[in-house]
């Protein structure tokens, strides 16, 4: 049975003391024997960590004791071996780079759709008002090539900073439709949905991203796997690594 717990989590929340917080989080993760990456920016926190289940969950519980991180939710998956080689705690300008500083999700999120509701819409072929649903993949092209929702729109962007330009070029194609932006864990599609709405597109974000969808409804309407940024490379819709040949 797989014994290493992998989590991904992010939260847009104001962090004014990230330089002081960095060594505190590093010390806590190191003492728990965790590996992975923690990103800190003024706009929030983004983390990918793996280790023993009690150690991982204990670290997250300690993090949530800080009121700024009380709303942090995690997505869990399992592996037979540690998928990260080391622990990194980095300071960043943005926890996901878009180069649009006016987009600040901590000030208010775009509306979201739950995995269960999205699956129902896809089963029925429309949303609750009868409008066409367009799935918009906000990930980089190479990630999309591992797998995506059937019929999803893919603008073949190479990096997320290209997304605003793609919106400007294609927003006319989205008029009068219910657009659901999605990404791996929710962080990119959260910014994407805000930007889309500011440009006149009726956009929602998929709550929890692809991994949240897999966790709640499995692989319905999904083709392929989901790329992840660790040595597992990709996860199947049952949240298992595509291969067990991972480095220890």
Q: What does the angle CA 27 – CA 72 – CA 21 come to, to the nearest 5 degrees?
A: 30
Supply the DSSP symbol for 33.
T
Distances (CA, A) of 169 to 4, 47, 71, 197, 205: 43, 32, 35, 15, 20
Q: Report, in angstroms and rounded to the nearest whole number, the Rg of the chain calculated over CA atoms.
A: 18
Active site residue 183: yes
Instruction: Show the DSSP H helices in 33-134 as ranges.
Output: 53-64, 115-124
Closest alpha carbon to 13 in 104, 102, 97: 104
Q: Which two tokens stand for residue 185?
A: 């864990």
The catalytic residue among 4, 9, 174, 183 is 183
Kindly list the catalytic residues: 183
């Amino acid at each position: 049975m797989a014994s290493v717990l992998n989590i991904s989590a992010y939260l847009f929340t104001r962090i004014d003391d990230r330089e002081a917080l960095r060594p505190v989080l590093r010390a806590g993760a190191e003492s728990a024997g965790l590996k992975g990456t923690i990103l800190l920016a003024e706009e929030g926190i983004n983390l990918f960590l793996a280790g023993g289940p009690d150690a991982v969950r204990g670290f997250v519980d300690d993090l949530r004791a800080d009121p700024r991180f009380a709303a942090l939710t995690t997505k869990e998956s399992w592996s037979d071996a540690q998928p990260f080689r080391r622990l990194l705690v980095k300071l960043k300008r943005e926890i996901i780079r878009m180069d649009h500083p006016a987009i600040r999700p901590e000030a208010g999120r775009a509306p979201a759709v739950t995995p269960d509701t999205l699956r129902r819409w896809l089963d029925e072929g429309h949303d609750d008002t009868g409008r066409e649903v367009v799935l918009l993949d906000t990930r980089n092209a190479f990630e999309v090539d591992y797998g995506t929702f059937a019929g999803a729109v893919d603008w073949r962007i190479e990096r997320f900073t290209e997304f605003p330009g793609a919106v400007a070029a294609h927003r006319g194609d989205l008029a009068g439709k219910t657009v659901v932006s999605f990404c791996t864990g929710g962080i990119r599609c959260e910014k994407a949905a805000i930007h889309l709405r500011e440009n006149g597109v009726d956009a929602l974000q998929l709550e929890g991203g692809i991994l949240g969808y897999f966790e709640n409804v499995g692989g319905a309407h999904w083709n392929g796997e989901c790329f992840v940024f660790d040595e597992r490379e990709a996860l199947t819709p049952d949240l298992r690594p595509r291969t067990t040949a991972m480095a220890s």
